[in-house]
Structures are given as structure tokens and as C-alpha cells.
Amino acid sequence: MTGTVHAVLPGDIDDPATPSGGNRYDRRVLGGLAAAGWTVHEHPVPGGWPHPEPADRAGLARVLDALPDGTVALLDGLVASAVPEVLAPRAGRLRLVVLVHLPLDHDAERAALGCAAAVVTTSGWTRRWLIDRYALPAGRIHVATPGVDPAPPAPDSATGGELLCVAAVTPLKGHDTLVDALARVADLPWRCVCAGSLTRDPAFVDRLRRRVADQGLAGRVHLAGPYAGAELDAAYAAADLLVLASRIETYGMAVTEALARGVPVLATATGGLPDTLGRAPDGTPPGLLVPPGDPAALAGALRRWLTDPALRGRLRRAAHERRATLDDWTTTTTALATALRGAA
């Protein structure tokens, strides 16, 4: 069964300079709904979400007021979670569904989600967090985990020294921790490409560049800016190990994108990342997990990876086995469609 949905999205959803996992997720599921026969109307709303100005709030209100009574409106959480005063007066007339990529953890978000007929999260961890933190009714919280496209396996190198980090360069993603860890293994052969937006927190990027230079890593750590399409595919194909030093992560789409190519993962044991990493069918994890914000632990795991060929072989085999267990985007779209039909 199909239907009609109006999607309210951040204004920068298609800006190539500011790619994000949330924007890519939105694009894939809306395309999936359309392919499945849904009528999808998109409403990008300009603004400094999730920190809107009064004009941004007024613009969102105008978009919602123009929708017919009974409309199913799917709002990206980046927009919806900051404006309960906009949602509350319209919750009786519209069927509001909020898609939460990353909880903001504040009272405004609690109130905003309380206005929704349904909430869709991108991981089981986020669903549990919302229920525990905000006391939202469990029956209204749904999960639609990101899918991943099949990809050819990446070739292995002899040293394992091609490291890749795919994340916007912000404090939340822990690039400062990563650089400090890399400095501790500077005696070993490696190169690290950091692919991700450099414009979300320019001051942090400037500090990170100085940190890289001060640690003597300027020729080995490359802040490459955002990659997409063939350029991103090529980066994964060239990688031996995906490294994510995130302080918090609800899912971590880069993890499954690496695993789809048989590339092992070194990540932090935070949020939904352990579930996303998962295990191969024989129970072997396809990577390593360390505490967030701990350069010494991250450096220790990097040293093990770079100096232990047997470990690299074991993790690579597990990553190749994990490939077959990953869900595609059709599964994601089906889960979201179920939530939308329930809200309707």
C-alpha cells in the first residue's frame, strides 16, 4: 500500500559542500518511496537548523500551514526538534512524523517529539535512548536503519597502512582524538585521508590543521574535504581500514559502506556503532572498538592493526563475511513506509 507524504527537509540537503549522513539518508529513502509508488512532495526550508532564527521558524510555519488537513508530513529531526512551538498548534490538523538522525538532548526536542504521531529513528540505540530519556511511548517510536549499496571488495595492501576517515570535520566526530592517536604511531608506515565537510565548524578545522602541523603529520594526514559518488567509492576501494573516532554516533553509515567492500573498521564503542559494526556469521567482529575520547586506546588499536598481519587477516575475513549480512535500502524504505502508513 502506498500513499502521499510531504517531506520537510533542511535547506542544504543537496549542497555538495555540506554532505552528511542525514542528508544522504533522506535522499535515499525519499527516492525509495517514490520508486515504490508513493507521491512525494519535498519542502526544503532554509535556516540555521537546529538553531533557527525567528525568520526560519516563520518560514517553516508557512510551509506547514499550506499543507491540506490530514497530510502526512515527514520532518527531518534537524528541523523539527528545535521548534515545538511551531509543531504543537498544527499537530491536531496534520499527521506529523519526525525522522531523528541524532538526538539533540534538550527539552525543546522532548516537546517537539511529543507532538508527533510517530517518530522514526535510524538505529535501535536511538529508539532506546528516546524512550529512556524522553519517556516517549514505545509504540510510536520506529526504527528504519540505513541501507547500503553492494560494492566490489577492496583489494588488501601488504602493510594495512591506508587509513580512511569519512566524517564531517567537527568536534563530535573526534578528529582531534584521531590526530593525537596517529601521532603516537608516527614511527609506523601509514597515511590517513579524512574525507568530510570542512565548513561546518571552521574554527575547529583551523585548530585541527595546527594540531596536524604541530605533531609533524602534515605530509601524512590529508583533510580532503567532502567526497561523493565515484570519488568516495575510490577512497573506500583504496582503504585498508576505516577509522572513526566519534564521540557519539547514532548509527555510522560509513561503517556499513566500508564493510560492504570488505574493509575492516576501527571505531569508538559509542552510541549505535557497536551494533552497526556487528559480527560475521561465525561471531567474529569485523573490526576493533575502543572507548571514545581516548587517544592512547585508539593508538594502541592502530598499532595492533599495523604490526600484526594475523590480526589484519582475521578482521579482513570477518569483514568479507559481514558483507553478506548487510541490508539494502529497500529494507529501510519498507520500514519507513510502515511508520508513515501507521501515522496516516
Bridge pairing between strands 39-45 and 4-10 = parallel
Q: How confident is the model at residue 14 (pLDDT cuts 50, 70, 90)?
A: confident
Q: What percent of the chain has pLDDT over 90?
A: 94
- CATH number listed for the domain at residues 4-147+327-343: 3.40.50.2000
- pLDDT for 5 beyond 80: yes
Q: Give the bridge partners for 43, in sequence order.
A: 8
Terminal C-alpha separation, the chain: 12
- pLDDT for 19 beyond 80: no
Q: What is the mean pLDDT of residues 188-197?
A: 97
Note the pLDDT of residue 277.
Answer: 98
Residue position matching grid coordinates 552528511:
20
Mean pLDDT of the chain: 96
Higher local confidence (pLDDT), 57 or 15: 57
Q: Do domains 4-147+327-343 and 162-323 have the same CATH topology?
A: yes
CATH architecture of 162-323: 3-Layer(aba) Sandwich (3.40)
> Residue 96: helix, strand or coil by DSSP?
strand
Q: What is the mean pLDDT of residues 74-92?
A: 96
- pLDDT for 337 beyond 80: yes
- Going from N- to C-terminal start, the domains of the chain cover 4-147+327-343, 162-323
> Torsion angle of alpha carbons 101, 103, 109, 112, nearest 10°?
30
Task: Give the tens place of pLDDT for each residue, 145-179.
Answer: 999 999 999 998 889 999 999 999 999 999 999 99
CA distance 192 to 251: 22
- pLDDT for 261 beyond 80: yes
- pLDDT for 25 beyond 80: yes
CA distance 250 to 25: 13
Note the pLDDT of residue 233.
Answer: 96
Grid coordinates representing 278?
Answer: 556487528
